[in-house]
Amino acid sequence: MILLTICARGGSKGVKNKNIREIAGKPLIAHTIKVAKDWGKADRIVCSTDSEEIAKAAREAGAEVPFMRPAELATDESSKMDVIRHAVYESEKKYGENYNTIVDLDVTSPVRTVEDLEGCLKIFQEKDLDSVFSVTNARKSPYFNVVEINDEGYAHLSKEPLSPIVRRQDAPEVYDMNASIYFYKKEFLMKPETESPISDKSAIYVMDDISSAEIDSELDLAFLEFLIEKGEVLL
């Protein structure tokens, strides 16, 4: 069975009331719930939130809110993995179900498609993986133009190549995690020591830049509204 979780905390700072901010005539969270419902592969679509306003919007969009997230999991310091684990535990207890796959979708990435979810599922099912997560091609490379400062205060490449790289195109391919789609094997996710989506048995699904649009600031929001107005994005 597949449990799909959507974690949406109240009190966002970068964009006020971000998770229920209206975009293309709907609260932001409704776009993620819609693609989850259109995908049709999840046995449950559950929203984890500490906000009654977000819970109301989630229910109206077609998600279930079988519990309210406790305050200790709704702080700036709360671990997302702990939040998802709590959602799995509470959902299994509430519905008497046993899930083997957990899919987590970020509210702030509303442009993902059913095809993106299908692409992740295909990779996840092809071999024995702990996780699959979505990425986009990185604009900068730690082998070429990303630097760190050492203890002496000098800059150096974040990842030293075996031989000098003079063009970014010659650097190894690297990707940005775009915080859109995560597939987890339940056994991996539920281990208390699992603090990251990444293990030695993880794979990626590559999304394009537009599908990877993420709402973390008013500028991000304005850009997405511009793309919608120009017909580049359909929500």
- Asked if residue 14 has pLDDT above 80, the reply is no
Per-residue pLDDT reduced to its tens digit, 38-55:
999 999 999 999 999 999
Within-domain flag for 234: no
Per-residue pLDDT reduced to its tens digit, 122-168:
999 999 999 999 999 999 999 999 999 999 999 999 998 888 888 88
Q: Is 149 helix (H, G, I), strand (E, B) or coil?
A: strand
pLDDT value at position 152?
96
Within-domain flag for 68: yes
Give the total number of structural domains in the chain.
2
Contact predicate 44/3, CB 8 Å = yes
* Residue that terminates a domain, selected from 173, 193, 221: 173
pTM beyond 0.85: yes
Q: What is the DSSP letter of 198?
A: -
* Residue 74: domain span: 2-137+174-229
Tokens of 13: 């700072």
Same domain, 132 and 212: yes
- Asked if residue 170 has pLDDT above 80, the reply is yes
CATH number at residue 92: 3.90.550.10
Same domain, 63 and 168: no
pLDDT value at position 13?
74
pLDDT value at position 180?
98
Same domain, 164 and 208: no
pLDDT value at position 39?
99
- Asked if residue 12 has pLDDT above 80, the reply is no
Under the banding of pLDDT at 50, 70 and 90, the label for residue 234 is confident
All residues at 6 or more sequence positions from 144 whose CB lies less than 8 Å from its CB, including other chains:
157, 161, 165, 167, 168, 171
Query: Alpha-carbon distance 8 to 18, whole Å?
Result: 9
Query: Alpha-carbon distance 27 to 23, whole Å?
Result: 6
C-beta contacts of 77-85 below 8 A and 24+ residues apart: 78/9, 79/195, 80/7, 81/189, 81/194, 81/195, 81/196, 81/197, 83/7, 83/48, 84/5, 84/7, 84/48, 84/184, 84/189, 85/189, 85/190
Per-residue pLDDT reduced to its tens digit, 180-196:
999 999 999 999 999 99
Per-residue pLDDT reduced to its tens digit, 83-132:
999 999 999 999 999 999 999 999 999 999 999 999 999 999 999 999 99
Contact predicate 122/146, CB 8 Å = no
What's the mean per-residue pLDDT of the chain? 95
C-beta contacts of 227-234 below 8 A and 24+ residues apart: 228/23, 228/24, 233/111
Tokens of 202: 């993880």
pLDDT value at position 161?
86
